[in-house]
């Protein structure tokens, strides 16, 4: 029977002891300590933005936020670009530790994933084209609108009614108005006089010879001034040769519009929830191109995305209309029951209340949006 020297036997026993106790080996401890977090990033402005077109350098509100959290918690990590759907699957199967993008808090994802504390809130919005166009068709339409025709009808009735009353009251004792040499056309003098009164062109009621005629002419003049004033105001407001018109749309218009939305945007979830037909473009720039070339009527996306795009492309004639009752809360996304949620939330809450975060919001979204549209706890 072979005999082992004591030192060799003791060494073998010590090396095997962790296996019997179910403990990881010293090498495993080193690997665990050196493990980096896998951070799935979904490219979507202004949360995750490729820096100056470089392949592996990233910036954006979500990136800036996570960089600060990781620095405070002394976490090692690596970014892995993914689509939104792949990022969610990676969190579920454990190949990613958290995800950054335009992830809004919703009940469907909450069944399988965990949301961090929201760091921005906004509403979904509709971007449509603003353009200069002739107002002539609108003027023609206004001139023949039901309101205008109704007013004209009232004026004609007043003229006929007034002419008849003046004929009955004045034909025998007002030879100046109803001259005999006018023959059968004498009745038209009363109609013309009535027309002048109801259009406030001739206020001299003393051209009527009888008291009853003057009183009636006074009443007709008052009615005529009121009706004519409204008519003139309506016509005047219509006569603008050219004006800037905004082809803006509200939520009630969406069912009849050609809608586009950028990939990875939470706007896709909104459109799917409301069963609205839409086309998805790789990014908001291509979606905007479809709007500008006339192949689309509106972009539906997160309001923050649209405001960021409009701010960086001030020359783009865009009008943005928020969908007020659809509020969106943007947060980091984690696997279900991840211990990272509690750790990161503590740092995140402190950071979004800081002056640094306020400056970042203003840098990306502008002062007005930063303070009114998406500011948290202000």
182 contacts: CB under 8 Å, gap ≥ 6: 188, 189
Closest CA to 125 of 375, 319, 335: 319
Identify the H or E element spanning 232.
helix 211-238
Higher pLDDT, 61 or 13: 61
Strands 113-115 and 98-100: unpaired
323 vs 118, higher pLDDT? 118
> Best-predicted range by mean pLDDT among 7-11, 14-18, 237-241, 276-280?
276-280
For residue 44, what is the DSSP state?
A: B
- For 21, phi then psi, to 5°, come to -85, -5
Asked whether residue 134 carries a pLDDT value surpassing 70, the answer given is: no
Mean pLDDT in residue range 45-66: 86
Question: What's the rounded mean pLDDT across residues 268-291?
Answer: 88
Q: Would you say 129 and 292 are in contact if contact means Cβ atoms under 8 Å apart?
A: yes
Residues 71-87: pLDDT tens digits? 999 999 999 999 999 99
Task: Grade residue 328 by pLDDT with cuts at 50, 70 and 90.
Answer: confident
**pLDDT over 90 (residue 38):** yes
pLDDT of residue 87: 94
pLDDT of residue 198: 61
Q: Using the predicted structure, report yes or no on whether residue 170 has a pLDDT greater than 70.
A: no
Chain segment 174-184, per-residue pLDDT in tens: 666 665 555 55
Find the mean pLDDT for residues 9-38.
Answer: 52
The mean-pLDDT minimum among 115-129, 193-207, 320-334 falls in 193-207
pLDDT bucket at 140, cuts 50 / 70 / 90: low
Write down the number of H helices and E strands in the chain: 15, 13
**How large a percentage of the chain has pLDDT more than 70?**
65
pLDDT at 199: 63
What pLDDT is stored for residue 377 in this prediction?
Answer: 42
As a whole number of angstroms, the distance between CA 247 and CA 209 comes to: 58
pLDDT band at 324 (very low <50, low <70, confident <90, very high): low
The band of 294, judged by pLDDT with boundaries at 50, 70 and 90, is confident
Range list of β-strands (E), the chain = 37-41, 49-50, 58-59, 77-81, 98-100, 113-115, 120-134, 242-246, 259-262, 279-281, 298-302, 318-330, 333-335
Q: Distance between CA 168 and CA 153 in Å, rounded?
A: 23
Instruction: Please give the mean pLDDT across all residues of the chain.
Output: 76
The confidence score (pLDDT) of residue 189 equals: 64
Is there a contact between 119 and 325 (Cβ–Cβ < 8 Å)? Answer: no
Which class for 2: exposed (0-12), middle (13-18), buried (19 or more C-beta within 10 A)? exposed
pTM of the model: 0.57
Distance between start and end Cα atoms, the chain? 82
Contact 220, 162 (CB under 8 A): yes
CA dist 163 and 167 (Å) reads 6
- Find the radius of gyration of the CA atoms of the chain: 38
Cβ neighbours of 96 (radius 10 Å): 23
How far apart are alpha carbons 170 and 177 in whole angstroms?
A: 8
CA gap 293, 59 in Å, rounded = 30
Tens digits of per-residue pLDDT, 216-262? 777 777 777 777 777 677 666 655 444 444 445 566 778 888 999 99
**Does residue 228 or residue 108 have the better pLDDT?**
108
CA contacts within 13 A on the Cβ side of 55: 0
pLDDT at 205: 63
Contact 171, 186 (CB under 8 A): yes
pLDDT digits (tens, 9 = 90+) for 182-216: 555 565 666 666 666 666 666 666 666 667 767 77
Under DSSP, the state recorded for 97 is: S
Q: What separation in angstroms does the CA of 209 have from each of 68, 70, 204, 215? A: 93, 97, 12, 11
Contact at 8 Å (CB) between 110 and 334? no
**What's the mean pLDDT in 338-355?**
92
């Amino acid at each position: 029977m072979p005999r082992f020297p004591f030192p060799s036997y003791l060494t073998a026993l010590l090396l095997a002891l962790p296996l019997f106790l179910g403990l990881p080996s010293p090498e495993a401890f080193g690997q665990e300590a050196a493990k980096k977090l896998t951070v799935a990033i979904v490219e979507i402005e202004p949360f995750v933005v490729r820096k100056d077109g470089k392949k592996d350098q990233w910036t954006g509100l979500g990136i800036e936020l996570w960089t600060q959290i990781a620095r405070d918690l002394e976490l090692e990590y690596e970014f892995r670009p993914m689509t939104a759907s792949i990022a969610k699957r990676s969190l579920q199967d454990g190949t990613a530790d958290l995800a950054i993008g335009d992830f809004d808090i919703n009940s469907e994802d909450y069944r399988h994933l965990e949301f961090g504390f929201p760091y921005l809130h906004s509403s979904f919005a509709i971007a449509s084209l603003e353009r200069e166009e002739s107002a002539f068709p609108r003027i023609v339409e206004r001139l023949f609108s039901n309101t205008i025709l109704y007013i004209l009808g009232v004026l004609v009735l007043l003229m006929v009614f007034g002419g008849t009353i003046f004929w009955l009251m004045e034909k025998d004792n007002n030879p100046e108005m109803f001259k005999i040499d006018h023959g059968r056309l004498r009745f038209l003098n009363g109609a013309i006089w009535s027309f002048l009164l109801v259009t406030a062109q001739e206020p001299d009621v003393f051209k009527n010879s009888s008291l009853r005629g003057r009183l009636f002419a006074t009443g007709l003049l008052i009615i005529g001034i009121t009706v004519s004033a409204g008519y003139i105001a309506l016509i005047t407001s219509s006569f603008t040769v050219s004006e800037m018109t905004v082809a803006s749309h509200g939520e009630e218009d969406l069912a009849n519009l050609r809608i586009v939305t950028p990939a990875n945007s939470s706007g896709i979830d909104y459109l799917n929830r409301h069963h609205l037909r839409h086309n998805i473009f790789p990014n908001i720039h291509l979606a905007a191109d479809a709007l500008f070339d006339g192949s689309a009527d509106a972009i539906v996306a997160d309001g923050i995305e649209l405001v960021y795009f409009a701010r960086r492309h001030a020359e783009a004639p865009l009008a943005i209309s928020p969908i007020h009752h659809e509020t969106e809360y943007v947060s980091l996304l984690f696997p279900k029951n991840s211990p990272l949620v509690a750790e990161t939330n503590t740092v995140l809450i402190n950071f979004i209340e800081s002056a640094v975060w306020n400056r970042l919001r203003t840098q990306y979204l502008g002062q007005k949006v930063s303070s009114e549209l998406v500011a948290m706890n202000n």
